[in-house]
Every structure is written in structure tokens, then in C-alpha cells.
Structure 1
């Protein structure tokens, strides 16, 4: 693993999300100790271990429907159909909606956000990018469907590239102003926040790096696997396999730290992947089934926002 200077190490600890994943270098102890005192709180677990339908064993992202409060949307990972699954809050399948004109190479996240004409669903075909030809990621956008629809309207397709080489990426969120952001996983790279140039156009275009969030994690469980923004635009949730962090949006897009974070290990997720949140601090987590034929899982949290 590459070594990092004191400034990067202090920022790394201050993020809390990845704090404690590397030993401090000489002279870093005081800065790191102060940094890890950033607020860490526990969200109230409303429900955990909720089984998802068989069709979404490989859930890789989640988005809360703004028009049907009891429904969330999820997508399958690579090798599954190009389909949006509508799921009720208690885990029942509410709909199966094909994304018209789309292909699922490696769908890794889904978001709902503004677009010309109203609300749209955004699907990020962004995974395993360092192994893909042409270093491209693909974004699909379509008007938000209803759970009972058979298919979306024809999806718009936007293509982009990571400058300087691919990044394995699983996290995407759409801000209240329609901006699209990616956070790469941190597999063999620093964890970075990227912005899709706007207005969206077919491309391919070069993604813009906003900031480095943390140096490359030294533990696999600290890789970033999902992101979601609150509809009021004030908050963004980032998750790894084992931890949840909530950022004020202005802090995340600037140079600030997470407002607080939570250890997700007690939830016993097989493979934590998706996260979505409401403006009132309600957070949804989804997990793939892991090994074997177990169903995917979901958990609902209530997090303090202030």
C-alpha cells in the first residue's frame, strides 16, 4: 500500500467513515486523535433483517419514491435484467419495470432526482470500470415510472470517462439541483468524489474530480458501496460495507467532514450495498444476499439530523 502524508492521514481520520483503518505515521498521532473525535452517533434501528423479494437478491442500490412514500426502488447487479424493482417498505414486490432502451452491464446504483419536466429515475451503469473497454461509465435517465408500469419511457443515455484511467465505482447520488455525482469505491485508488458535467449530454464527456474524500482504504470493508441524497438537498448519505456516514451536502461538495457516522456491523448485513434517505433522517439500507441462496436484506433507520 502506498504511504500518505500527515495532511492526508488527518483528513482520512476526520472523515470518521474510514477512521482507524491505518496506523498513524510518526508525528500524526495528535492530529489523528483530534480528528476521530468528529461526532459519531447511533441512528435508531426501526427495522432490520427485512427479507427482499427473490427477484432482488442482488440489490445494488436504492432510491425512495417521492410520490409513493411506502415504496422504494432498487436494481440488480451485472448479469441481471435492465429492470427497476419497486418494493414496499415491508419488503414485498410492488412492481417490475423495464428500463426501455437500456442494457445492464454492471448497474451499481439508482437515484431519483429532478430533470426537465419533473422527476426522473437515474441508473448508474458504473461498476468494475477499471476492467471495462474504453474507460466509460453510462448513465440512464427516464421519467419516474409508477410501480404498475411495464416499462419506462425510452431512457436517455449519457456516457462519461474518468480522466487518467478507470475507477471501480458503486455509489451515485443526484443533488436537488439535478447534479449527478459519483464516489468511487476505493479499490486500488483513493476514494474520490466526481461530478458529471452539466447539462447532461450524450458524450462521452470527462468526469470532473471534486475532491479526495480519503486515501485508499486498507480494509476491504471500508470500500464505498452506495450513496443517496435527501430530497430537500441538505444531506447526503454514504455507506461502506460496514459503516454509514451522513454529510451536509455543502460540506461534502466543499471540504467538510461527515456530520456523524454509524457502525453497521450490528445489523449483520451479508453484503451492504445500497442507501437512500429522506429529509427527516429516515435511512434505508439494502444488502445483497451474500453467499448461497439467501434473500437480499433491508433495514430502516431513523437518524438525528441537526
Structure 2
């Protein structure tokens, strides 16, 4: 397993790019598969902001997903997916409906309104630009940290913003033979990000001495005021070259949620909108369990990469500031 360097994904036919507004502390990231990939989703958080998730249920008739947009801006940021769909339509990419094409674009958003400018959010222009960059600048590296959907991410908000840290966009890949799973995650968790190998906090709620707290015990023991509600979310997209049905891809999304449990403490809370999309391009035969294992490993590393790649901003320190 290694981090993705250079291209966004080492999977043919998949492209990704971000649009960032560093001054306003927000942005969006588009993952595009022009030929369409088998799509699925798993939503476990109690406060999601999403688009086109019902369509991805195994019993629904549309199976191909053309784009996933991870966005800041809370529910306002869902407008970026509209822009992504419009740009794909201009390029003739989408589901052929006889009188034209309808791009299938799913999306999830993080709450980043407390960073930068709360009244500036990714919209249709930013979503369209992210798709255009993904398709026209294919050699461009997808930057981690304070970029795209990770621009205004924060983690560890149990004791409020004064004790929180900077989150960000992370990416990683895991492979076995020809089988590859790649993950991109915008890490904006209520809880701490921990090292999955030993559970030691990497970033999160800071003690009065400025070190990440171990939240293994009671949350009430560490909280000294009521946290912001429904202002947290970790949103991800796993892309694999495996051949999967919608039901199988859904199971992979469900298995991948273990990465959240391994790398975020606590996770899937009522204050998070945790969502995982899966896009499967269909080149390699593999079992669901094989794909799920690799997807989980890649997503674990992407979550940790999101906070390790972040830089301190908007008053929130980053991991590098503590080292």
C-alpha cells in the first residue's frame, strides 16, 4: 500500500480535481468517470447533506455513476453538483435518455461555514470548473490538505473551536496484483483522528496544554461546554477497478465504513454526516471481501493523510504545528 503521488487515481478512465477558495475557507473536489462506474453509497452519520443517494440503492434501475462531488458549504454546497452535471452535459457525458444525456452526479458536503467566510460556498461555477480541470488537466496532481473539499475542514470539536484542529483532504491507494482501490476523504470529524495501528491520537480535541486528548473514556469527562451540533462530517469516495454489481458495491461501501471506526474516535455520531461513495470501473474480477479489505485500508490511510497534510489556518493548528 502506498500513497497516491502524481495522478489522482492509478485507475484508467477516472480523473479528479479540486477548486479551492482559501480566503473563504471552502472548496469542492470532483471525481469523474466519463464512461460511468457502478455506483454505491453508505450513509452512517446522523446529519448528512447529500444528493442522489437513493438512486444508488441496489434495487434502483440506474447503475452507472459519472461523477462524485465532495464539497464544502454545508447543504448550500450541493449546488456544486449541479454545476458538475452541467459541465458533463456540455461534453456529452451522461446517461443517454434519447433526447440528450443526463449525467448521474452524487454529492456529499461538509460543514465549513465556521472557517473563512460563512456566506461564501461552492456553487455551480465551482462544480463545473472542478469537472473541467479533472478532464482537461489530467496530469495535474490532486493536492491533499487545505484544498478542495478539505479547505475548511476541522477535527476534534468536542470542546469547541478553541480546542479543535485543522482537518483536510486526504488520498491514498491500496492494491493486490491487478486489483486497486483508491480513496479520497474530506476529514471534518467531530472526533479525533487516530493512528489505526495503535489508536494513538494524531489530531483532534486539544487539551489545555495543546496536545490531542485521548477520548477513550467518557465524552462527558472531556467536554467543558456544549459542542456545535451537526457541524461535522467525513465524506469519502472509494474508486476501484473491480467488477462489481450495485449490490456488491454497496457491500464494499458498508465494509469501508470500518475505516472510519478504525481512524476516527468517536465516529458516526449524531453530529456527523459520514458518507462513503464507491465507484467501480469493472476491469478486474475480485471477491467483495477482497475489495472491501483493500478499500478499508486505503480509506484509513486517506483519513490520516487528510490531517497530516493539512496546514494550520483560520486559527486552527495542524499536526505539523505540534511536531
Q: TM-score range by the shorter chain?
A: under 0.3
TM-score w.r.t. the length of structure 2 is: 0.27
More strand, by proportion = 1
- Using CA pairs below 8 Å that are at least 6 residues apart, which structure has the higher relative contact order? 2
TM-score w.r.t. the length of structure 1 is: 0.28
More helix, by proportion = 2
